[in-house]
């Protein structure tokens, strides 16, 4: 009885897994590049302040911009690769089927949090406050003969929203995985490619 | 009504919900039940505002610097240096393990990095030298908790941010407690060494080692500069104590310090050349090889102490220095290694940043709910004596540390416990150190000690076996926790002397 159900679940799981795999690969690449840019920006500020005695107005905000997007774009990968901190004593001690059921309950709770997060994130990003211009950031297209574009606050607000949407996608994939694990423990699930060694998260 | 969010939160944690979701679900649910839907939007905005912070940026940067240094192969250098200093003692390699942890702590803010780096080098070496593997793993795990206590420190950055303390002051306050734990562990090893006849080791691992030209000259220059800096600091310190302010101002102003600095280079050089004749070639090479890595903590702390840079800027400078050392001085890192290093640091810090954001949101609900007041009156019913209460809180923290990692624990408990004890008259800085040290030691306590798991995977020994072997070492760490609790001067003196705390 479990087999056709498992088949029906495996198909969307494979599709979603592939999508997540690729989207998160791109997202995490942008994230580590953001980290590199952050370092450069802060160093530029240090040099300008102490060597030239002329602090620049934009590095503080620009570095925060990068950090926000770094967080939003790579946190979903951390969620997918099981790097979110949890006390899993109870989960690890349960028999297999019960552990799957517990996981489904937990993933449902997480989905509720993410759902509300996306709801309020959408309002936050596309609401009134996001219309304002950033205080120091603009794209100086004037240098190339174009028009200077002011960075709007919503370009920053969007980082957390994007992160939550991607985490929701991961959350759905994880729910499908637990369902398949419950009805057909022997079924071969798509692999999660992420990092080759455990990451140090304290 | 809203007070119930704490029990709900604890239940969610116990049934294994990730801390990030639990931090948001519990307060969100209670706000909703309470009909305060508007405040849920506040919850969301506080997550965002919590992450959007410049001081917090030190976290990803220090992680990155530590990871870069580690990949660049500095661990072996630190271990060989420690061995040259302490290897000949009875129980030599155990002492070396502890000293390496202290040195490594100045570069990295994480106990896990410490365990895996030092453990993978020293546990096999200790086994070869005649130690049991469980003892080697236990010493590694116990000493690695020094990592987040001696600056830089990830959990102190988090605590300072969530609680509105100064990162620099917390960093400085951690130095003495960290060294105390190291000294305490060495004392135990020394006592055990006589009882179990722990072996000695060679001081020099590799005879006739060579050093590359670049590294030779880099450490040549750095050594002299540091020595002169010590001279100058000592000189100005004496002058500030003895001479009248006017003389001091003249001596410290304008070009004078630079002239003094340049002039002192000559005696520094003469002294080092004299020293060169008195020590063996191998010993000298080992020391020279440790100079470039050990310059990193000097840059970080020196920069912060002199007020030249903020902790965030210091962390960015540390990244630049780590890149310089591993690419140009040691030549151990390839450009193609960089993406992986960056990605791992980004991932690790993103999870922590999300947690911090959630904690800031959680904290607003904590204050909305009047939970601290309820908790304070409960605690004050137990006893009115701050000393007794500190004892009780240490036990609570220790128990929490057994089950939860230091970072999440400090994020959750800081906002709840901090205000209670500050109102009782405990200095916020002192309380921060009590929490940080206690919860960090919790990383090495069974049953749920992150460091124990890492030590187990590095050594191949079972967690249960290591847990038993680590008990005498943990006893000393508990003793140090109580010393720190009841002698505030241990943590407060350094930040006070340097003007970072009243």
Give the Cβ contact number of residue A60 at 10 Å: 18
Tokens linked to A33: 């590049």
**CA–CA distance, B409 with B403 (Å, rounded to integer):** 9
Closest listed residue to residue A66, CA positions, set A159, A150, A154 = A159
Closest listed residue to residue A82, CA positions, set A102, A52, A108, A103 = A103
**CA–CA distance, A134 with B444 (Å, rounded to integer):** 45
pLDDT at res. A67:
96
pLDDT at res. A201:
46
CA angle B480, B485, B487 (to 5 degrees): 90
- B-chain residues within 8 Å CB-CB of A75? 350-351, 353-354
Give the closest-approach CA distance of B275 to chain A in angstroms.
36
pLDDT at res. A141:
64
Contacts of B108 (CB under 8 A, 6+ apart): B62, B65, B66, B69, B70, B114, B147, B152
Contact: A124, B52; criterion CB under 8 Å: no
**Chain B CB within 8 Å of residue A47 CB:** no
Of A34, A113, A200, the CB nearest to B21: A113
Does the structure show a pLDDT above 80 at A197?
Answer: no
Contacts of B230 (CB under 8 A, 6+ apart): none
Per-residue CA distances from B186 to A75, A127, A136, B113, B437 (Å): 40, 59, 53, 21, 18
Per-residue CA distances from B161 to B106, B291, B325 (Å): 21, 32, 30
Under the banding of pLDDT at 50, 70 and 90, the label for residue A202 is very low
**CA–CA distance, B228 with B224 (Å, rounded to integer):** 6
**CA–CA distance, A2 with A66 (Å, rounded to integer):** 47
**CA–CA distance, B415 with B419 (Å, rounded to integer):** 7
Contacts of B268 (CB under 8 A, 6+ apart): B224, B227, B228, B231
First to last CA, chain A: 43
**Chain B CB within 8 Å of residue A116 CB:** yes
Give the closest-approach CA distance of B373 to chain A in angstroms.
28
**CA–CA distance, A171 with A87 (Å, rounded to integer):** 18
Give the closest-approach CA distance of B440 to chain A in angstroms.
10
Q: How many CA atoms lie within 13 A of A190 on its CB side?
A: 21
Search chain A and give the residue with CA nearest B443. Answer: A202
Search chain A and give the residue with CA nearest B45. Answer: A124
| Single pTM value for the model | 0.89
**CA–CA distance, B353 with B347 (Å, rounded to integer):** 10
Tokens linked to B452: 């124990």
Residues B148/B56, Cβ–Cβ less than 8 Å: no
Among A27-36, A48-57, B409-418, the range of highest mean pLDDT:
A27-36
pLDDT at res. A145:
65
According to DSSP, the residues that pair with A149 across neighbouring strands are: A139
pLDDT at res. A142:
62
**Chain B CB within 8 Å of residue A161 CB:** no
Give the closest-approach CA distance of A144 to chain B in angstroms.
31
Percent of chain B with pLDDT over 70: 98
Number of continuous H segments (helices) and E segments (strands) in chain A: 5, 2
Q: How many CA atoms lie within 13 A of B130 on its CB side?
A: 11
pLDDT at res. A3:
67
Give the closest-approach CA distance of A1 to chain B in angstroms.
30
Mean pLDDT of chain A: 86
Closest listed residue to residue A165, CA positions, set A104, A109, A95, A114 = A114
**CA–CA distance, A144 with B437 (Å, rounded to integer):** 54
**CA–CA distance, B459 with B121 (Å, rounded to integer):** 10
Average of pLDDT values for B191-201? 84
Per-residue CA distances from B234 to A135, A144, B173 (Å): 45, 55, 21
**Chain B CB within 8 Å of residue A184 CB:** no
Return the SS3 of A134: strand
Over residues B166-181, the pLDDT tens digits come to 999 999 999 999 999 9
Does the structure show a pLDDT above 50 at B147?
Answer: yes
Contact: A200, B348; criterion CB under 8 Å: yes
Over residues A104-155, the pLDDT tens digits come to 999 999 999 999 999 999 998 988 877 777 777 777 666 666 666 778 888 8
Residues B56/B161, Cβ–Cβ less than 8 Å: yes
Closest listed residue to residue A169, CA positions, set A30, A73, A67, A101 = A73
Over residues B1-56, the pLDDT tens digits come to 667 888 888 899 889 899 899 999 998 998 888 888 888 888 999 999 999 999 99
Does the structure show a pLDDT above 70 at A8?
Answer: yes
Residue B447, preceding bond cis, omega within 30 degrees?
A: yes
To the nearest 10°, report the CA torsion of B33, B36, B37, B42: -130
pLDDT at res. B177:
95
CA max distance for chain A: 74
DSSP for B405-431, please give it: -HHHHHHHHHHHHHHHHHHTT--HHHH
Over residues B407-439, the pLDDT tens digits come to 888 888 888 888 888 888 899 999 999 999 999
Closest listed residue to residue B21, CA positions, set B413, B358, B405 = B358
Of B56, B312, B351, the CB nearest to A85: B351
**Chain B CB within 8 Å of residue A22 CB:** no
Give the Cβ contact number of residue B241 at 10 Å: 8
**Chain B CB within 8 Å of residue A8 CB:** no
Over residues B109-123, the pLDDT tens digits come to 788 888 988 998 899
**CA–CA distance, B502 with B500 (Å, rounded to integer):** 7
Specify the residue for token string 């004496």: B238
Does the structure show a pLDDT above 70 at A48?
Answer: yes
**CA–CA distance, B428 with B434 (Å, rounded to integer):** 10
H-helix or E-strand containing A150? strand A149-152
Residues B292/B222, Cβ–Cβ less than 8 Å: yes
To the nearest 10°, report the CA torsion of B369, B373, B374, B380: 170
Closest listed residue to residue B351, CA positions, set B362, B359, B361 = B359
Over residues B463-476, the pLDDT tens digits come to 889 999 999 999 99
Closest listed residue to residue B19, CA positions, set B398, B396, B410, B402 = B410
Over residues B370-379, the pLDDT tens digits come to 777 787 788 8
* B83-108 CB burial, b ≥16 within 10 A, e <16: bbbbbebbbbbbbbbbbbbbbbbbbb
pLDDT at res. B1:
66
**Chain A CB within 8 Å of residue B51 CB:** yes
Contact: A84, B53; criterion CB under 8 Å: no
User: Testing the interface with A: which of B36, B64, B343 to mutate, by most A Cβ within 10 A?
Assistant: B343
Contact: B57, A28; criterion CB under 8 Å: no
Does the structure show a pLDDT above 50 at B286?
Answer: yes
Contact: A109, B21; criterion CB under 8 Å: yes
**CA–CA distance, B17 with A199 (Å, rounded to integer):** 20
- Measured in whole angstroms, how far is the alpha carbon of residue A185 from the centre of its chain? 29
Tokens linked to A83: 């790097």
Residues B36/B365, Cβ–Cβ less than 8 Å: no
Does the structure show a pLDDT above 90 at B404?
Answer: no
- A-chain residues within 8 Å CB-CB of B12? 109
Closest listed residue to residue B74, CA positions, set B35, B113, B132 = B113
The count of CB pairs under 8 A between chains A and B is 195
**Chain A CB within 8 Å of residue B317 CB:** yes
Chain B residues 98-157 with a CB less than 8 Å from chain A: 110-113, 116, 148, 154-155
- A-chain residues within 8 Å CB-CB of B346? 28, 31-32, 34-35, 70, 74
Contact: B61, A121; criterion CB under 8 Å: no
Contact: B346, A124; criterion CB under 8 Å: no
According to DSSP, the residues that pair with A133 across neighbouring strands are: A152
Contact: B348, A199; criterion CB under 8 Å: yes
Return the SS3 of A152: strand
Mean pLDDT of chain B: 88
Contacts of B277 (CB under 8 A, 6+ apart): none
């Amino acid at each position: 009885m479990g087999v056709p159900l498992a088949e029906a679940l495996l198909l969307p799981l494979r599709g979603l897994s592939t999508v997540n795999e690729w989207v998160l690969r791109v997202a995490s690449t942008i994230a580590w590049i953001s980290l590199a840019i952050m370092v450069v920006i802060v160093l530029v500020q240090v040099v300008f302040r102490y060597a030239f005695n002329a602090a620049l107005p934009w590095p503080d905000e620009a570095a925060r911009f990068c950090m926000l997007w770094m967080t939003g774009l790579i946190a979903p990968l951390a969620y997918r690769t099981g790097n979110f901190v949890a006390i899993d004593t109870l989960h690890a001690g349960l028999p297999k089927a019960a552990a799957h059921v517990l996981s489904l309950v937990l993933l449902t709770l997480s989905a509720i949090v993410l759902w509300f997060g996306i709801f309020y994130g959408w309002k936050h990003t596309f609401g009134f406050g996001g219309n304002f211009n950033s205080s120091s950031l603009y794209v100086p297209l004037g240098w190339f003969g174009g028009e200077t574009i002011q960075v709007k606050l919503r370009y920053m607000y969007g980082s957390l929203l994007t992160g939550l949407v991607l985490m929701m996608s991961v959350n759905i994939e994880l729910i499908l995985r637990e369902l398949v694990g419950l009805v057909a423990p022997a079924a071969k699930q798509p692999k999660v490619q992420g990092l080759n060694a455990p990451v140090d998260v304290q | 009504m809203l007070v119930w969010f704490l029990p709900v939160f604890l239940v969610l944690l116990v049934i294994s919900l990730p801390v990030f979701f639990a931090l948001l679900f519990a307060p969100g649910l209670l706000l909703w039940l309470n009909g305060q839907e508007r405040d849920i939007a506040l919850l969301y905005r506080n997550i965002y505002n919590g992450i959007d912070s410049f001081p917090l940026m030190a976290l990803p940067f220090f992680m990155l610097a530590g990871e870069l240094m580690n990949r660049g192969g500095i661990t072996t250098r630190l271990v060989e240096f420690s061995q040259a200093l302490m290897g000949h003692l009875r129980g030599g390699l155990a002492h070396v393990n502890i000293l390496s942890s202290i040195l490594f702590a100045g570069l990295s803010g994480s106990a896990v990095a410490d365990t895996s780096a030092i453990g993978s080098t020293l546990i096999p070496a200790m086994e070869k030298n005649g130690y049991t593997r469980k003892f080697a793993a236990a010493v590694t795990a116990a000493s690695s908790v020094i990592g987040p206590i001696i600056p830089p420190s990830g959990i102190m950055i988090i605590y300072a941010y969530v609680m509105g303390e100064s990162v620099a002051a917390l960093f400085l306050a951690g130095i003495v407690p960290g060294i105390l734990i190291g000294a305490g562990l060495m004392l135990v090893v020394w006592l055990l060494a006589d009882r179990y006849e722990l072996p000695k080791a060679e001081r020099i691992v590799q005879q006739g080692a060579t050093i590359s030209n670049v590294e030779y000259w880099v450490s040549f220059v750095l050594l002299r500069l540091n020595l002169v800096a010590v001279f100058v600091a000592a000189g100005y310190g004496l002058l500030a104590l003895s001479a009248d302010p006017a003389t001091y101002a003249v001596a410290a102003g304008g070009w004078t310090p630079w002239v003094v600095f340049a002039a002192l280079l000559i005696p520094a050089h003469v002294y080092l050349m004299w020293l060169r004749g008195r020590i063996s070639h191998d010993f000298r090479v080992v020391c020279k090889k440790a100079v470039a890595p050990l310059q990193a903590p000097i840059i970080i702390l020196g920069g912060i102490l002199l007020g030249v840079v903020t902790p965030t800027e210091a962390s960015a400078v540390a990244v630049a220095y780590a890149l310089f050392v591993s690419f140009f001085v040691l030549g151990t890192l390839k450009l193609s290694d960089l993406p992986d290093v960056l990605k791992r640091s980004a991932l690790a810090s993103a999870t922590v940043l999300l947690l911090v954001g959630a904690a800031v949101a959680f904290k607003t609900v904590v204050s909305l709910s009047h939970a601290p007041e309820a908790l304070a009156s409960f605690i004050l019913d137990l006893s009115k004596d701050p000393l007794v209460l500190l004892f009780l809180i240490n036990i609570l923290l220790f128990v929490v540390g057994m089950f939860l990692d230091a970072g999440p624990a400090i994020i959750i408990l800081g906002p709840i416990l901090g205000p209670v004890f500050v109102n009782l008259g405990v200095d916020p800085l002192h309380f921060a150190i009590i929490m940080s040290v206690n919860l960090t030691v919790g990383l090495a306590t069974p049953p749920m000690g992150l460091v124990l798991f890492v030590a187990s995977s590095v050594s191949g020994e079972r967690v249960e076996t290591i847990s038993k072997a680590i008990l005498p070492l943990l006893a000393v760490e508990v003793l140090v926790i109580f010393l720190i609790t009841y002698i505030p001067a241990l943590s407060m003196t350094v930040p006070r002397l340097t003007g970072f705390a009243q």
